[in-house]
Amino acid sequence: MKVGGWVGLCVAVFLPSLAAADPIAGSATQIGAWRVTAYTRNQTGLFNHCVLYRVQNEGFGLAIGYTVQGIWTMAAEAPTWGLVAKESYTATLQVGSVSYTATGRAVDGRGMSFNVAPEIFDQLKSGHQFTVSANQKRYTISLDGIEAAQQRTRDCIKQYATATRPPSPSPGQAAPPPPPSPPVAANALVQAIQTLLIRLGYDPGPTNGVIGIKTNMAISAFQKSIGERGDGLPSEALRGQLERAVAARGPGGNPGSAPAASAPPPMQQRPPTSPREKAVASSGTGFFIGPDIVVTNFHVINGCVELRLRKTGGDLGPARVVATSRSDDLAALRASNRSKSFLKLRVGVPIKPAEPVLVFGYPLAEALSSAGNTTLGNVTALAGLRDDSRFMQISAAVQPGNSGGPAVDEAGRLMGVVVSKLNALAIARLTGDIPQNVNFAIKVATLVNFLEAHNIAYQPAEAAARELPATERAQRAEASSIQVECWR
């Protein structure tokens, strides 16, 4: 594959509104296997963005763009992809053992740009392989040396955003618009967004008005918490959403609290009414990943007025919500009582089909044992419904109440968060057959992204941990798990 053709694709992908864009003469730099080039806007000749790219296996190429606004973008090309221009494709992007689901838009038959979660750019590191699966084809490229190439790309932006000037206008021709501001200049909108994110408990980094990966990740985490896709990009609409979320928390910092209203005159006061007593509306399972941090599903705690933790039938006190993600169905709680037992996360070790899995939880709380239940099974698929790569399918039996519980591997390491079982009756109505043991768990990689986006600490497990007997794994899972009661 000719490098020149790949450069053209990079430009078309990152600047779809332009008919063409030209590389700045002398800007190309070879950093190991990566090539970094600066590009101008073709209509004005003004500097616009820098791109780092490499071509490797079977002509598969990866391009990563960086704009003057500090936004990273991504595209890829493969000669045999067989795409239809302007069509959208669902793609799975895997960096090491971490998988992301992305939407790709075809530029032509062989290349597409990706709408990806911003946190993926923080995962691009030497020693990892980057794999793209789309249109029933799979391609892999090495990321070795990418840190140096990314740094050169940042330097490229700084160099050309300030050094490039528009060409002198011809006599009688209007002068082109001034060049864009360099990315280091503070942006009032971004600064306001960063301040609001901090007030909501997110960590966007310093409130300097400059978009960086931490700000992208914090924005994405907030967007996902309100049910959006999570592109991680700043906008006026986002600021409005953040302002409404801050206002909803009220002066006391609790959702739904509002400033106290002035008491009406005595003659207008209504007779006191007895407040309705709260009661347990539902329950699920959670587990400790630290002395006082509990992980569970978002749907377990959604709409609850109060959360209480129980163990073997005993009340262990309340818990408060620390962070949530509606789209990933994850929530982190802070327990009022600390636990001596917590699970370490299986990080950097790919999950494989047919691996044994042990699930612990508190299903059917009113009917089954208050001490919890343990079930055994295997990983039956590495994706969930409709090939959603955030999930894995497991055969370990789960019931209502298992939601939010841990799924651990043969070494007792956390490999997933139980989330749901397939609706057997609905499938039976469609197919005439009742599916057996089709259950799902959120992969630990998705949980890690959620925790890191909210700056929540966790402990990674040893990559070469020894295999444990099932009884010992069950004891470890039970000791770290907790029943989560939703009161309304």
> Is residue 360 scored above 60 in pLDDT?
yes
Query: Per-residue confidence at 444, pLDDT binned at 50, 70, 90?
Result: very high
In terms of phi and psi (left: phi > 0; alpha: psi -120 to 50; beta: otherwise), the region of 59 is left
Secondary structure (DSSP) of 111-166: EEEEE--GGGGGG--TT-EEEEEETTEEEEEE-TTHHHHHHHHHHHHHHHHHH--P
Which residue(s) pair with 364 in the sheet? none
Confidence band (pLDDT; 50, 70, 90) for 467?
very high
Rounded percentage of the chain residues whose pLDDT exceeds 70: 76
Q: How confident is the model at residue 300 (pLDDT cuts 50, 70, 90)?
A: very high
Residue 432 has a pLDDT of 56
Model confidence band, residue 5 (pLDDT cutoffs 50, 70, 90) = very low
**Cβ atoms 50, 34 nearer than 8 A:** no
8 membership: H or E segment, kind and range: helix 3-14
CA distance 88 to 102: 10
Write down the pLDDT at residue 43.
Answer: 57
Q: In this predicted structure, what is the pLDDT of residue 397?
A: 85
Supply the pLDDT for residue 253.
43
- Confidence check: pLDDT of 318 > 90: yes
* Segment 105-148, tens digit of pLDDT: 888 888 888 877 777 888 888 888 888 888 888 888 888 889 88
- pLDDT, residue 483, reads 94
Distance of CA 162 to the CA centre of its chain: 34
Minimal CA–CA distance to 121: which of 58, 212, 44? Answer: 212
- Regarding predicted confidence, which is higher, 402 or 275? 402
Q: Are 72 and 124 in contact (CB under 8 A)?
A: no
pTM for this prediction: 0.47
Q: Does residue 62 or residue 208 have the better pLDDT?
A: 62
In angstroms, rounded to a whole number, what is the distance separating the alpha carbons of residues 32 and 22? 23
All domains of the chain in start order, with CATH: 3-161 (2.60.40.1880), 188-249 (1.10.101), 278-488 (2.40.10.120)
**C-alpha to C-alpha distance for 333 and 340, rounded to whole angstroms:** 16
